[in-house]
Amino acid sequence: MTEPGSSPLRLLLLGGTRFVGRHLAAAALARGHTLTLVHRGLTNPGLFPEAEHLLGDRGGDLSFLAGRRWDAVIDVNGYVPRLVSASATLLAGAVERYVFISTISAYADLSDPGATEEAPLAQPPAGAEETEEVTGETYGWLKALCEREVAAAFPGRSLIVRPGLLVGPEDHTGRFAYWPWRFARGGEVLAPDAPDSAVQLLDARDLGEWIVRQVESGVTGVYNATGPELPLTLGGLLSTAREFAGPAATITWVDPDFLLARGVSPWSELPLWLPGETGFNRINNRRARAAGLTFRPLAETVRDTLRWLESLDGVLPVSADRSLQLTPEREAELLREWHGLKIASC
């Protein structure tokens, strides 16, 4: 519900039926706001019957939004600057504030830890300014350009949120979900021998609730939205996942060089593993924390993610644009070879 003495807001959500948008919509409705969702009707179209649903594609004609007014718009799925510019321009006179969900990948350089909101943003390579294809190489600078379009259309009236890795139930990428899923299967679990490497993540439900509270307070500016509150390591994360998802499982820590030499892909095949220490998992989140960003216990995220996976009959979801995580067969093959090398070296 909204805070005592405050009035419900009229919120427009571009997206709202998948993962981050879904949790944002749930948070807005739970706090008593009036919600309009704009989506294509392809993913979970039956969600949130209490909200107004407008079917449309931001790549097409959004003129059906003209003549309407809302207190704020939250843009969950803006990836292409031209399309973000079109929606921001169309809504500039229709809403008070524009909330844009960006990413820490928008920063130009994450090789050093501690990036703040003032760090330089990525720029397109020469000759790529007109590129609209979203890939691993273009994603960051396209988001940075989207931010620029929002700021131009809403000077002093925008809230730019740069999350890091978002996790929890409904995460269709399978990144974080791999580990609860794998420990729940039991047996010997292969993990890269980098237990002290830093990990940053944020439950998407915490992000959704925080953003709605910021909209209620009229907050503007730029915020890094990542967590947790206290430093987390890969070893600590796997220990928690094992404790709550599969305590009978065992972890075998395998030399990263062995894995890389055999073509195992960090981050995708073995999620959350990034060889070497980079700033990607050491983003400065003090500003968001000072603005009230809170973090539920990691164990709760593990348990809820596992329950969600169980509702999918234990099938690990993986989006079409990502490499598959390690298959059980590939994991077993690597473990056999690793143990064989250890025996041979004795």
What's the pLDDT tens digit per position in 16-64? 889 999 999 999 999 999 999 999 888 888 899 999 999 988 877 888 8
The DSSP code for 105 is G
C-alpha 26/C-alpha 57 separation (Å) is: 22
The closest alpha carbon to 123, from 96, 143, 98, 103, belongs to: 143
**pLDDT at residue 298 in the model:** 98
**Mean pLDDT, the chain, whole residue set:** 93
Kindly report the pTM of this predicted structure.
0.94
Alpha-helix runs per DSSP H in the chain: 19-30, 81-91, 139-153, 178-185, 204-217, 234-245, 256-261, 286-290, 298-311, 328-345
**pLDDT at residue 344 in the model:** 80
pLDDT band at 3 (very low <50, low <70, confident <90, very high): low
| One-letter identity of residue 69 | R
N residues, the chain? 346
The answer to whether residues 162 and 106 touch, using CB atoms and an 8 Å cutoff, is: yes
**pLDDT at residue 5 in the model:** 40
C-alpha 255/C-alpha 140 separation (Å) is: 30
**pLDDT at residue 99 in the model:** 98
- For residue 4, pLDDT over 80 is answered with no
Which residues, including other chains, have CB under 8 Å from residue 87's CB and lie 6 or more apart?
Answer: 14, 58, 62, 73, 75, 78
Cis ω before 155 (30° cut-off from 0): no
**pLDDT at residue 323 in the model:** 58
Q: What tokens does 306 get?
A: 């596992």
